[in-house]
Amino acid sequence: MADIALSLSEIEDIFWTCTITILGLDPQKKESQKRIRIGYPAEGAPAWKRTENVGFILVSLANDPIMDQVELSYNRVSEKSTDHIASYTRVIQATWIFYGPNSFDEADKVRAGLFRSPLLFSPLHLVTNVPSPIRLPELFSGQWWERTSFTARFNEKVVRKSTVNFIEAADIEIIPNR
């Protein structure tokens, strides 16, 4: 049994595909790939025109008390070893940041799509208290850029396994009190 946990790049891919699908964009087209991005541009911000609609997805782990609960179990493999299995819920926080004239509408559409299409981000599970998008224009180079963002949390069941060998023998030495 191998570990069951998504990598950061797998989680980012899930959210990118989910966002592209909800917005009705073609994931194969180059303009769609530039349209929704993971993280921020390396060349600095912004690296697009004020009239362009661009979205960013930022993924991180969120601190949550549910992550403190770890279920431990053992599964005997042989006479000499056992599997130590730890399972817990990991909380993933995704933030969508949209720029451009349609930023508010696109943020609202993605947020609504999270409730309507849970299979788009499977095996993650939406924590349903997703706050409404916040419109907060951003001042850059003396111009105001339309910006809207929102954050959602998702739960992921994580299972970590390691093999533990039994102690077969031990040397015991008794040293009397002197």
The per-residue pLDDT for range 27-57, each reduced to its tens digit, is: 888 888 889 999 876 666 667 888 999 999 9
The helix or strand, by DSSP H or E, that contains position 63, with its residue range, turns out to be: none
In this structure, the dihedral spanned by the alpha carbons of residues 87, 88, 89 and 90, taken in order and rounded to 10 degrees, is -100
Sorted by where each begins, the domain ranges of the chain are 8-61+91-153
Architecture of domain 8-61+91-153: 2-Layer Sandwich (3.30)
Q: Could you tell me if residue 95 is left (phi over 0), alpha (psi between -120 and 50 degrees) or otherwise beta?
A: beta
pTM score, two decimals? 0.84
Where does residue 121 rank: exposed (0-12), middle (13-18), buried (19+ CB within 10 A)? buried
